[in-house]
Structure 1
Amino acid sequence: MKYTHLSLSSFWGVVIFLPYAVFAEEPSSEEDSSYQMDSVVVTATRYAQDIDKIAGAISVIDSKELQQQTLVADDLTSVIANLVPSFTPSRQKLSNQGENMRGRNVLIMVDGIPQNNPLRNGNRYGYTIDPSMIERIEVINGASAVQGIGATGGIINYISKGAKPGDEWKQTIGSRITSNLHNDGAGHKLHYSLSQFDEHYDLFLAGSWQEQGLYYDGNGKPIGMNQIQGETQDSTSYNGLFKGGYKFDEGSQRLTFFANQYRLKSNNNYIAVPGDFKKDIPGTVTKGKPEGKPVSNSMDIYSLTYNHYDLAEGSLTAKLFMQDYNAVFGQALWWPTPDKSQDQGVIKSSKKGFKLSYERSDLIDIDDIWVAGLDGLQDETTQELAQSGLKVTPLMQYRSLAPFIQGDFMIGENLRLSGGVRFENTWVKVDDGKTLYGFGNAGQHNVDIIGGEQKFSKTVFNVGAIYNFTPELSTFVSFNQGFGLPDIGRILRGNWVGGNSPNNKGNAPINFNTMPAVEPVVTDNYEVGASYRNDSFAISSSIYTSIAKDGANLKLNSAGTYDVERQRTEIKGYELKATYHALSKTKLQTMYSHVEGQVDTNGNGDVDSDMDLRNLSPDRLMLAVDHEFNNNLSGRIQYNHLFSREKKANGAGSKQNFDGYGLVDFSVNYNMGNYGRIGFGVENVLNKNYINYFSQIRNHSSYYFSGRGRTFSLSYEFDL
């Protein structure tokens, strides 16, 4: 498979050269209404819409909140985990395995471009863009199909920064230093941006470099590394971003080009020392060079968007995009051949797609808005081994074509109805192949993989209603369906056989054409919620039930890895968020979530056992206080508590226990005017020593790690 992309050296050459090439132009400060997006969300409906008009649980993390959280931990999964109910705690690792929302998979996007891999989920799609490149984050809690495949648990859309009205060749340079008071625990970050906005064109150019040191726990010991799945500690990352737009035809039409390149690579300075799960000894590290190539993540994203804002009394949006993804994993036990046990996995994926939509308002003159469109996606993915060059999976190809229509309108003065339908047409093709020696079927090595094609068509719906009792009090009810695929690559690679089993030669091929396990997963999400808001107080809550009649859960096998298991799953939960402005300068915030799930273990159609905690999040409570000391100085202190949980033993696995813990974080910002902006953050203020959630419920010594202890950060940003 071929991958074409602009090299990082070329990108940084443009970063250095462009300011000198364009400074001669005359700037303009004319405002553009397309940038006034503070109160709208576009992921939930495919058109710009007020949050109050969306029947569902929606969160928008704005630039101020994002800045507060990244002062504490410059990690997007930690930001989401801190501020979004029912999202699992961050693993503080490169891998986002075990991180989900409401017990199901999350579709992660960058400017509406999907980052997930539908054919082979390597759990690396949480790190595709640096936080310094993001303006805000839009989050849908619960199943949704409006953006396509993968959102059985919700959608997270990272909205990248861009030029704003008033930017006249504005340059911003920033730095961040982190420390846990250990010599090898320091981290450094630099970022730069250039932005220009006028009535005809705008551009935004940015770059960042970050080097992270070793993490330490509350006892002052180095935190262990998962050198197979990957780490963010002891790593170096780069990000380059360009966004440029040109308006023509008196501003009624616009072209926008977006490019983002992200690289993260291990520095390979430490060797993992496994812990002991049964003896409650977390893993650590020792100095040394791991075998094989450094673990790395590489992501290139490009898109070209055309907007026509005045076409037949409506607006047209057409987006073309492509994405190249390459993830190198660490040395692991693969048994690619009878005489070789160790090797490194590599997942390569290439996406191309388009999104076409036409939006029209007031067709029936009842405050209505409609959007109709067509989405297309093509994905090619393979998993191979870096050293032996053998295929873990054959080449897999995915194509989808999905027309849709979505809209909402008022009935009377108080009732707003919404609804939509999407027709998913999916085609999956798999080449012929053979499993590795260490994987097979029915205890046999090197079995044949019989490739072929499978086609699926699914119609997914969403309906909702919002009733406003008063201008302050409203309630909603909704039904949404999400559409996803199981991890087909994991199924095709076969079951673990290992290197010591007899090399049986029987007829036990893996036939893709007859596999019921690759059937799509459709999730039904039923939800009821209410909200109240006045000048000083806001509260919202929702109760939901999520049902997948043929879900695809991960089940731990005897080899310590996960297999895909098709089971009926039922997940129920509730969420609550509240904000109170106690004083004009003081804001109190709280959030609580609860989720529980059951599965059908005997295939009779009725759930009969608790869901594996690997697929769920613990109950959690967040409390926070924000205070503005004056116009220039503000601070925030927050407390996140995860409650203990236990899963009783059943036929599917062993007993799971989670001992809860609570963490306190603190951040403060000071605007020094012409001298720049400075920020200070402390993660885990009380230096709590704890084993993180995933490590506790994974039940495996190689995944048993402490969480980060007290860590300080100091940030400085200056406009040139």
Structure 2
Amino acid sequence: MSTKTLSAITLALTFNASSYAFADTSNEQDVEQLDTMVVTASRIKQQAEKIPGAVTVITAKEIEQQKAVSDDLTSIIATMVPSMTPSRQKMSNQGESLRGRNALILVDGVPQNNPLRNGNRYGYTIDPSMVEKIEVIAGASAAQGMGATGGIINYVTKSAKPSDHWKQTIGTRVTTNLHDDGTGGKVYYALSQFDNIYDFYLSGSWDRQGLYYDGNNNPVGMNSIQGETQDSTASDIYFKGGYNFGDDLDQRIEMTVNRYDIGSNDNYVAIKGDFDQGIPGTVEKGHPVGDSVTNEVALYNLKYEHNDFANGILTAQVFYQNYDAVFGDANWGATSTVQNDQGIISSDKSGFKLSYERYDLLDLDDSWVFGLDGLQDKTVQKLVHTDLNVTPNMEYQSLAPFIQADFLVTEDLRLSMGARYETMRVKSSDAKTLWGYGYNDVIGGTNDYSETVFNLGAIYSLTDQVNLFAAFNQGFGLPDYGRVLRGNWGDDPAVNKPIDFNDLASAKPVVTDNYEIGANYTGEKLKLSASTYLSIAKNGANLVLRGDNYDVDRQKTQIFGYELSSHYQLFDDTALQLMYSHVEGRVDTNEDGHLDSDMDLKNLTPDRILLAVDQRVNDKLSGRLQYNYLFDATKEDNAVGQAQHFDGYGLTDLSARYDLGKQGRVSLGVENIFNKQYVNYFSQIRASDDYYFSGRGRTFSLNYELDF
């Protein structure tokens, strides 16, 4: 470890990032409730302050507040979570990472990531209007298993509330940049009913977005292959229903169904930018070649809970997800005579989660959970029109028992620990790569892997206002198997050389070790929270750009960073927020065991600072002004073999909410209020004409919602 890193750790003995959330902070009761927010993503229903690590809970009020500015979950998370990469404002979330590594995305505990072929489209599987809160646990996690090398992002969906009696909600949203073709609209409806015996929540939304414009009043360019949220239409049908039974209504069965579709309206064709000349891409009217670029995701989730089973809580969950992502027309080199086609990634995911919770077994304010998780995923990437396989038919199976516990050792010291034994089997059929990738034989087979991952943490209450924590967590995941198998850049890129699935060094699992220290301060008016961390993968799987494609390279990687969050109640009706994050990384490019180069900026996030003011004018009117600044970044000596430079930028957003009482609620949001012209982070560091896009200029959003 470098002297710089050691010094930074010493100086940054700092505070856990946002274990409370920043909702309408003018309401002191809300602030108090946030301090005891229960987090479920850790596999134990526990208060956030009992988790030794960086935890962010984005509450329903915060989601509504941020949706007033941007109705996009990736943008909300990028704004509210330290060390999260800026949103690309595209359908693809390629390049979006948490602490420089992949985050496991969950919807009510159901994984959205595809373990065998990433595709980078799992950011759009549910509409924001269906989400009640967002739980983010940063850093590698052994609690949820496969894929959580950077952390866990769990979308907790909406349920009926005890006060709901055939409650109906209608809402509408108009978004515009004051251009005729830049205006979009959204409508949504919800019906909810709560009874001691049964409850349900039924909702639907329809969202049509217009064209985006940048700060220079030029149309924002489109990624015609990966997909767009501008000039798109999305719909979501959502249902959650529960039935309580038993002697004391201590048993519950709950069903969730969600169907989300988003697709391009195909009204424009892309015009490439010029990276060297600094000219961002744009669009012109026309119809793109081929079928619409779409995401279609269906989720079915059945859960049973017994709250008095052998003096504990028994929970059983089974789920199924069907996922289809169609990409735009591209040069695949499908055959010697047909070059262009469209790719589609299809995945069928099913699984179960079984857990048993016990509390106060040792009379030490202790919590225990014993569980078993199972997951099966069948994935293939094909070409739409020629019906050729881009990847073989692949299958993933895993079975993982685990145990997790936390307890008080003394009045001031709390320990947490856990272990998870992950076993997985990956299968591949025989296949041939596409003509453009060498037309190589893929020799199918079966690979079995197993690994035990651990977590250990401690929280020490130094005073009533200050606690310190330290944690060690391991994460376990697979590289992008499909990317390795589909092309001639596998372990041996020689043309006409068979790719043997049973001997793929580049596809072995990745184990990530995450070390973290920090502290929290909670005063009468000031809350301060930060942490510093070190993440090491001895055999990491990094995407490295070669030509026009990213390859999977197995390299030792080390990521270091620190995060700071603070909240100050300046006056009764005025609150201030400050958030800062720093991430850096090194890699071993020549596999000699020494870290010799900076990480590709695509795998990192720039340093950034968020400043915000929350103001309550009266009982009906409140607002928020926030400023998010991304700092410059330059990497002269890095893993991609060429210098990368990012010109930072700052964006200011404004939101206001007015309660009309029985007549409903109105909110106004202004994104990029000063109409700043900028090229987004990913476009700058991708350094390609095809991916060189401006960010959104000034955009107005007017929302109205009524309950009856």
Match of 2:381 among 383, 389, 393: 383
Distance in 1 between residues matched to 2:48 and 2:97, nearest whole Å: 23
Indicate whether 1:543 and 2:532 are aligned. yes
Match of 1:97 among 90, 94, 108: 94
Distance in 2 between residues matched to 1:474 and 1:126, nearest whole Å: 35
In the alignment, what sits opposite 1:709?
697
Indicate whether 1:511 and 2:509 are aligned. no
Distance in 2 between residues matched to 1:651 and 1:153, nearest whole Å: 20
> What code does the residue aligned with 2:629 have?
H
Is the 8 Å Cα contact of residues 440 and 488 (structure 2) preserved in structure 1?
Answer: no
Indicate whether 1:173 and 2:170 are aligned. yes
Distance 1:651-1:358 versus aligned 2 partners, 3 A rule: closer
| Aligned-residue offset at 1:45 | 2.5
| Aligned-residue offset at 1:649 | 3.5
| Aligned-residue offset at 1:47 | 1.6
Indicate whether 1:462 and 2:478 are aligned. no
Secondary structure in 1 matching 2:288? coil
Is the 8 Å Cα contact of residues 266 and 296 (structure 1) preserved in structure 2?
Answer: yes
| Aligned-residue offset at 1:41 | 3.8
Is the 8 Å Cα contact of residues 489 and 551 (structure 2) preserved in structure 1?
Answer: no
In the alignment, what sits opposite 1:28?
none
Match of 1:625 among 590, 613, 616: 613
| Aligned-residue offset at 1:507 | 4.8
Where do residues 269-284 of structure 1 align in structure 2 (5 Å cutoff)?
269-284=267-282
In the alignment, what sits opposite 1:657?
645
Distance 1:374-1:650 versus aligned 2 partners, 3 A rule: closer
Distance in 2 between residues matched to 1:628 and 1:581, nearest whole Å: 12
Deviation per CA, 1:276-302: give whole Å up to 9, x if none.
001100000000000100000000011
Match of 1:287 among 285, 288, 302: 285
Where do residues 69-88 of structure 1 align in structure 2 (5 Å cutoff)?
69-88=66-85
Deviates most, 246-255 or 210-219 = 246-255
Distance 1:675-1:431 versus aligned 2 partners, 3 A rule: same
Indicate whether 1:224 and 2:212 are aligned. no
Is the 8 Å Cα contact of residues 207 and 239 (structure 1) preserved in structure 2?
Answer: yes
Distance in 1 between residues matched to 2:362 and 2:36, nearest whole Å: 25
| Aligned-residue offset at 1:496 | 6.6
> What code does the residue aligned with 1:426 have?
M
In the alignment, what sits opposite 1:412?
410
> What code does the residue aligned with 2:260 have?
Y
Is the 8 Å Cα contact of residues 99 and 583 (structure 2) preserved in structure 1?
Answer: yes
Indicate whether 1:576 and 2:564 are aligned. yes
Distance in 2 between residues matched to 1:45 and 1:554, nearest whole Å: 28
Is the 8 Å Cα contact of residues 494 and 510 (structure 1) preserved in structure 2?
Answer: no
Distance in 2 between residues matched to 1:74 and 1:505, nearest whole Å: 47
In the alignment, what sits opposite 1:304?
302
Is the 8 Å Cα contact of residues 43 and 140 (structure 1) preserved in structure 2?
Answer: no
* RMSD across aligned positions (CA): 1.3
Is the 8 Å Cα contact of residues 41 and 138 (structure 1) preserved in structure 2?
Answer: no
Q: TM-score, normalised by structure 1?
A: 0.92
Match of 1:431 among 429, 450, 453: 429
In the alignment, what sits opposite 1:491?
484
> What code does the residue aligned with 2:580 have?
Y
Match of 2:674 among 671, 674, 686: 686
Distance in 2 between residues matched to 1:386 and 1:506, nearest whole Å: 25
Indicate whether 1:452 and 2:448 are aligned. no
Where do residues 532-681 of structure 1 align in structure 2 (5 Å cutoff)?
532-558=521-547, 560-650=548-638, 652-681=640-669
Unaligned runs of 5+ in 2: 1-32
| Aligned-residue offset at 1:605 | 1.1
| Aligned-residue offset at 1:412 | 1.3
Secondary structure in 1 matching 2:62? helix
> What code does the residue aligned with 1:64 have?
K
Deviation per CA, 1:101-153: give whole Å up to 9, x if none.
00000100101100000100000000000011111100011111211211100
Unaligned runs of 5+ in 1: 1-35, 440-444, 498-503
Secondary structure in 2 matching 1:495? coil
| Aligned-residue offset at 1:469 | 1.0
Secondary structure in 2 matching 1:144? coil
> What code does the residue aligned with 2:451 have?
K
| Aligned-residue offset at 1:535 | 2.4
Is the 8 Å Cα contact of residues 39 and 48 (structure 2) preserved in structure 1?
Answer: no
> What code does the residue aligned with 1:523 have?
T
Match of 1:355 among 353, 356, 364: 353
In the alignment, what sits opposite 2:20?
none
Deviation per CA, 1:611-654: give whole Å up to 9, x if none.
00000000000000000001111000000000000011356421
Deviation per CA, 1:676-710: give whole Å up to 9, x if none.
00000000000000000000000111000000000
Distance in 1 between residues matched to 2:552 and 2:405, nearest whole Å: 36
Indicate whether 1:191 and 2:188 are aligned. yes
In the alignment, what sits opposite 1:257?
255
| Aligned-residue offset at 1:163 | 0.1
Aligned residues: 673
Deviation per CA, 1:508-534: give whole Å up to 9, x if none.
001110111111000000000101002
Distance in 1 between residues matched to 2:34 and 2:633, nearest whole Å: 40
Is the 8 Å Cα contact of residues 600 and 638 (structure 2) preserved in structure 1?
Answer: no
Secondary structure in 2 matching 1:489? helix
Distance in 2 between residues matched to 1:427 and 1:318, nearest whole Å: 23
In the alignment, what sits opposite 1:56?
53
Is the 8 Å Cα contact of residues 35 and 49 (structure 2) preserved in structure 1?
Answer: no
Distance in 2 between residues matched to 1:123 and 1:550, nearest whole Å: 22
Distance in 2 between residues matched to 1:505 and 1:693, nearest whole Å: 35
Distance in 1 between residues matched to 2:669 and 2:417, nearest whole Å: 43
Distance 1:169-1:651 versus aligned 2 partners, 3 A rule: closer
In the alignment, what sits opposite 2:318?
320
> What code does the residue aligned with 2:670 have?
V
Secondary structure in 2 matching 1:66? helix
Is the 8 Å Cα contact of residues 587 and 639 (structure 2) preserved in structure 1?
Answer: no
| Aligned-residue offset at 1:38 | 8.2
Distance in 2 between residues matched to 1:414 and 1:507, nearest whole Å: 65
Deviates most, 643-652 or 263-272 = 643-652
Following TM superposition, where does structure 1 have runs of at least 4 consecutive aligned residues deviating by more than 6 angstroms? none
In the alignment, what sits opposite 2:371?
373
Where do residues 203-242 of structure 1 align in structure 2 (5 Å cutoff)?
203-242=200-239
Is the 8 Å Cα contact of residues 601 and 652 (structure 1) preserved in structure 2?
Answer: no
Distance in 2 between residues matched to 1:263 and 1:507, nearest whole Å: 40
Indicate whether 1:136 and 2:150 are aligned. no
> What code does the residue aligned with 2:89 have?
Q
Secondary structure in 1 matching 2:67? helix
| Aligned-residue offset at 1:361 | 0.6
Deviates most, 222-231 or 47-56 = 47-56
Distance in 1 between residues matched to 2:562 and 2:669, nearest whole Å: 31
Distance in 2 between residues matched to 1:596 and 1:270, nearest whole Å: 38
Distance 1:623-1:669 versus aligned 2 partners, 3 A rule: same
In the alignment, what sits opposite 1:422?
420
Is the 8 Å Cα contact of residues 44 and 54 (structure 1) preserved in structure 2?
Answer: no
Deviation per CA, 1:539-585: give whole Å up to 9, x if none.
10100000000000000002x11000000000000000000000001
> What code does the residue aligned with 2:498 have?
P
> What code does the residue aligned with 1:358 have?
Y
Distance in 2 between residues matched to 1:261 and 1:535, nearest whole Å: 45
Distance 1:652-1:712 versus aligned 2 partners, 3 A rule: closer
Q: TM-score, normalised by structure 2?
A: 0.94
In the alignment, what sits opposite 1:32?
none
